[in-house]
Structure 1
Amino acid sequence: MTWIPGGTFTMGSERFYPEEAPLRRVAVDGFWIDIAPVTNRRFAAFVEATGYTTVAEIVPDRRDYPGMLPGMDRAGSLVFHKSRTPVDTSNPANWWAFEFGADWHYPLGPDSDVESLGLWDHPVVQIAYADAEAYARWAGKDLPTEAEFEFAARGGLEGADYAWGDELAPDGAMMANYWQGLFPFANQMLDGWERTSPVGTYPANGYGLVDMIGNSWEWTSDWWADTPETAKKKAGGSCCTLSNPRGGKLKDSFDPSQPAIRIGRKVLKGGSHLCAANYCQRYRPAARHPEMIDSSTSHIGFRCVLRSTA
């Protein structure tokens, strides 16, 4: 881990997606944060020590999913599959498929164990929120808030679009693992990776942190709200700073498009190897995404924080 001094910064962006606005001044206290996402190697040590079973390894209960199709009550998780041709990017079903037997140790399905694929030092994926939370408790840590994650991801750069500045690929250099080319069918792999990459493959940010951007999305502890919390104006019209925000409220985190599923959503940060210029420009500190807490996919992982004095 490394120590991130507390400070005040401008959170959010008004140049990309509406859910990132408005710009707001936010203060966070100092905290320790994992230098890299939790790897398969570190997660395996947790599982060996505790016997923990992840959400993806548990057969879903039909009572929790009243719209479940016949034959789907089997353990598994969502896996990305590159399409062969251009597809409608408004429909994620064109590249996501539920694979029986997919979980953290078999991230692409039952024939894809991390040992044979050489993934021990890649970020662990196929992690639901409860899995990340369980690991954090075991390690004596917590999951970062959205504000903590963004503050750390910026690496001390105030207002920059990316964790390394305002240019996505300065002088053609690949600064993170994201999708180069047209998503989801043409990955030029200028960064050398089709899926995840070993942690630390790309340069660290100004705080010495790696993979805060790209590679895998990372869970935060904040409930999702479509519009981020902002500080209230003081008497006389001057604005103030929001201190250590903790995200939205549970009631606001439900997905109204799925009324049958009463499962809240948490905020993901950092983007992943599937973010592309033509589809999901979320390889940025300000980017945010809602994810149902029971979801695990082949591009969601996490890292931990520790809130204490330096």
Structure 2
Amino acid sequence: MPLAQSAGPRYCDPIFLKGGPSFVGVAQPLIPLDGEGPERPTKLKDYFLEAATVTNVRFSRFVAETGYVTEAERFGWSAVFTGGGIRLGEVVGSGLSWWSKVHDANWREPEGRGSSIERRMDHPVTHVSLQDAEDFAAWAGGRLPSEAEWEHAARGGLVRRRFPWGDDEPTDDTVFCNIWQGDFPQLNTAQDGYEGTAPSRSFTPSELGFFNMVGNVWEWTAEPFRIRSISRTARQRNEMALANRERLLKGGSFLCHRSYCYRYRIAARMALSADSSASNVGFRIAFDTLPQSISEGRNL
């Protein structure tokens, strides 16, 4: 499938966040085994975080200019959500019958051979591994954010809230973001307008201007997955994460629902092996300082 060779911008409206005291985590974690708590103080340096996740059109420019080949393309398969429907391949992971190992699924063909991103160029790029995300970020002159940077941006600074918009709970009828509505995994009513990913700039942005900090796609961060606890359970989980090269992702995805995956909250966390990719995983970019082209007002 032909893709635009240079239509996508290299950068996407980085938003400045002033450094200083902040915190990460939550005092009363809802999923303690994920390491959501306790709340921990931290200090941030000045940084920038892009308003939206990297889109298919931006990633296509990266590939066109560099000849980059993603890990999913090299492996020859990626994980695709198939719900309660027909299997597209063997099941991925223990107890995850709604995920299929689909041959030839990758960022260009998200559901496997013959599928297309032609009508999803403004949606988040998916089926990208940690290395893919880091390589794109380096090409753009940036990096992946830390957990503390991601949470600080999602909260809107030194405020305590469950979601980027406040504490009002999304429901099957009250839409704030792109998550699952209905009976997971058999029925998605798509009350929010999308059965899968939504455009990166959809729904109402936060006060600072960030789009889809929760829901839509999980976002890679710069950190390994680790639970900060001295409990035996935490030590065992951390040993497993280290052995499997698991990294930390934030934000939840279009597959989250309170009945199953209540992780579309700012403090929520997920672990995924660094070389994994899936149809609900993407990323956004942080910058320590803006590349010269942005400073000069040129969105290359």
TM-score of the superposition, structure 1-length normalised? 0.79
1:284 aligns with 2:254: no
Deviation at 1:48, TM superposition (A): 0.2
Deviation at 1:113, TM superposition (A): 1.4
Q: Which runs of 5+ in 2 are unaligned?
A: 1-13, 87-92, 231-236, 296-300
1:98 aligns with 2:112: no
Distance 1:100 1:180 in 2: 28
Deviation at 1:157, TM superposition (A): 6.2
1:307 aligns with 2:291: no
**AA aligned opposite 1:225:** R
Q: Is the 8 A contact 1:225 1:253 kept in 2?
A: no
Residues 9-63 of structure 1 deviation map (CA, whole Å, 9 limit, x = unaligned): 342122411020111222212211111000000000000000000000113xxxx
Alignment partner, residue 254 of structure 2: 273
Alignment partner, residue 64 of structure 2: 48
| Percent identity for Structure 1 against Structure 2 | 38
Q: Which runs of 5+ in 1 are unaligned?
A: 60-74, 230-250, 257-261
Aligned CA distance change for structure 1 residues 203 and 228 (closer, same or farther; 3 Å):
farther
- Residues 182-201 of structure 1: pairs in structure 2 closer than 5 A: 182-201=183-202
1:16 aligns with 2:30: yes
Aligned CA distance change for structure 1 residues 179 and 11 (closer, same or farther; 3 Å):
same
- Residues 71-86 of structure 1: pairs in structure 2 closer than 5 A: 75-83=76-84
* CA RMSD between the two structures: 2.6
Alignment partner, residue 63 of structure 1: none
Aligned CA distance change for structure 1 residues 52 and 84 (closer, same or farther; 3 Å):
closer
Distance 1:227 1:268 in 2: 16
Residues 148-186 of structure 1 deviation map (CA, whole Å, 9 limit, x = unaligned): 11111112361111111111239x541110111221112
Aligned CA distance change for structure 1 residues 92 and 304 (closer, same or farther; 3 Å):
farther
Residues 213-243 of structure 1 deviation map (CA, whole Å, 9 limit, x = unaligned): 11000000101112279xxxxxxxxxxxxxx
Q: Is the 8 A contact 2:178 2:253 kept in 1?
A: yes
Distance 1:31 1:228 in 2: 28
Alignment partner, residue 180 of structure 1: 181
Aligned CA distance change for structure 1 residues 292 and 109 (closer, same or farther; 3 Å):
same
Distance 1:37 1:105 in 2: 17
Alignment partner, residue 30 of structure 1: 46
Q: Is the 8 A contact 1:77 1:296 kept in 2?
A: yes
Aligned CA distance change for structure 1 residues 301 and 9 (closer, same or farther; 3 Å):
same
Alignment partner, residue 19 of structure 2: 6
1:169 aligns with 2:183: no
Q: Is the 8 A contact 1:143 1:305 kept in 2?
A: yes
Distance 2:251 2:108 in 1: 23
Count of paired positions = 265
Distance 2:272 2:228 in 1: 15
Deviation at 1:301, TM superposition (A): 0.3
| Structure 1 SS opposite 2:149 | helix
Distance 1:163 1:253 in 2: 32
- Higher relative contact order by CA 8 Å / sep ≥ 6: 1 or 2? 1
Alignment partner, residue 225 of structure 1: 226
Distance 1:255 1:169 in 2: 31
Distance 1:185 1:143 in 2: 34
Distance 1:183 1:267 in 2: 24
Residues 272-301 of structure 1 deviation map (CA, whole Å, 9 limit, x = unaligned): 001101011111111111110010000000
Alignment partner, residue 259 of structure 1: none
| Structure 2 SS opposite 1:93 | coil
